[in-house]
Amino acid sequence: MGGAFSPLADDITALIVNPAGLVNTGGVALYSDYMETGGGSGPWEGKLVGGFERWGIVFGAAGSRKSFKDGVIEGQLSAGLAMNVLSGSAGSFISIGGALRAGRVAFDLEDSCVPCGVEVGRYSYNALTVDLGLMIRPLPFISLSVSSENISEAGFGSGDYFIPWDRTVRYGAAWLHEDRFTISWERRQIGGRETDHFGFGLRTALPLEIMAGMISERVYGGARWDEGKWRASIVFGQEAENVITTGASIEIFFNRPARIYQ
């Protein structure tokens, strides 16, 4: 959906995008995905996320690993929870959520850096931060959200080898029509940059959801098949001219409740 997900956040991956959206899940869920760019010749990313509900609180944990250019590898571990602070009629609610996130960056230093006085070898740096999120549904078909990833704006390393880990702030709104059609907008602020994300989803008569989105005139899309106890998705995105990212995910449920809010 072009990344316009934070005001929806209707699966366990909400932990990573907007922790408050964890309240849209229930029972026990396990999620895994893999994405790659340029047909396997470029960066790739994989995630594993799990969560469960207890005492009216949804708990989640996630791990991810991502490659960048020049052999840089980034890993992250997150653990968090969410709960409703106010519940109204017809599925309206206000929820809050938070997560503790640990990041690690590793890379190889090449021979060209020897004159800098730094030994050749593999280096790694760690950082720890907190994510926070808020979701408001004043009506069952309107959803508003704001979330902040890395509120401390932690970074990796120091000096000439400092690698920034920018704070990411997301806020947006979505309209959900009779559990069939969804339109979503999200504005994202990373460092000093802002981007607008637009997406929509359509649930067909089959257990199939069609998704599409746009970011800065780049097109994204996918489809998700929902069999009740599991659902699987395939996605694609235009990262740059003639550069396409593709991916697939699968989500498995145990004691999955009926859809509460959508």
Q: Say if residues 160 and 123 touch (Cβ distance below 8 Å).
A: no
Examine residue 2 and state whether it is found in any structural domain, yes or no: no
Q: Say if residues 82 and 97 touch (Cβ distance below 8 Å).
A: yes
Domain CATH code at residue 249:
2.40.160.40
Examine residue 9 and state whether it is found in any structural domain, yes or no: no
Query: Residue 261: pLDDT above 50?
Result: no
Examine residue 181 and state whether it is found in any structural domain, yes or no: yes
Place of tokens 């959200």: 145
Q: What is the pLDDT of residue 195?
A: 94
Examine residue 3 and state whether it is found in any structural domain, yes or no: no
> What mean pLDDT is predicted for residues 183-187?
96
Confidence bin at 38 (pLDDT 50/70/90): confident
Separation CA 36–CA 1 (nearest Å): 17
Examine residue 22 and state whether it is found in any structural domain, yes or no: yes
Examine residue 241 and state whether it is found in any structural domain, yes or no: yes
Examine residue 219 and state whether it is found in any structural domain, yes or no: yes
> What mean pLDDT is predicted for residues 10-20?
91
The structure tokens listed for 14 are 């909400």
Examine residue 5 and state whether it is found in any structural domain, yes or no: no
Q: What is the pLDDT of residue 118?
A: 56
Q: What is the pLDDT of residue 262?
A: 42
Q: What is the pLDDT of residues 67-122, one digit of tens each?
A: 877 678 899 999 999 999 998 887 789 999 999 999 998 877 665 554 455 566 67
Q: Say if residues 149 and 127 touch (Cβ distance below 8 Å).
A: no
∠ CA(63), CA(64), CA(66), 5° rounding? 165
Count up the domains in the chain and report the number.
1
> What's the domain range around 31?
14-254
Confidence bin at 27 (pLDDT 50/70/90): confident
The structure tokens listed for 202 are 């359509």
Higher pLDDT, 44 or 39: 44
The structure tokens listed for 184 are 């979503």
- Quick check: pTM over 0.85? yes
Q: What is the pLDDT of residues 188-220, one digit of tens each?
A: 999 889 999 999 999 998 899 999 999 988 999
At 238, the amino acid letter reads Q
Higher pLDDT, 129 or 111: 129
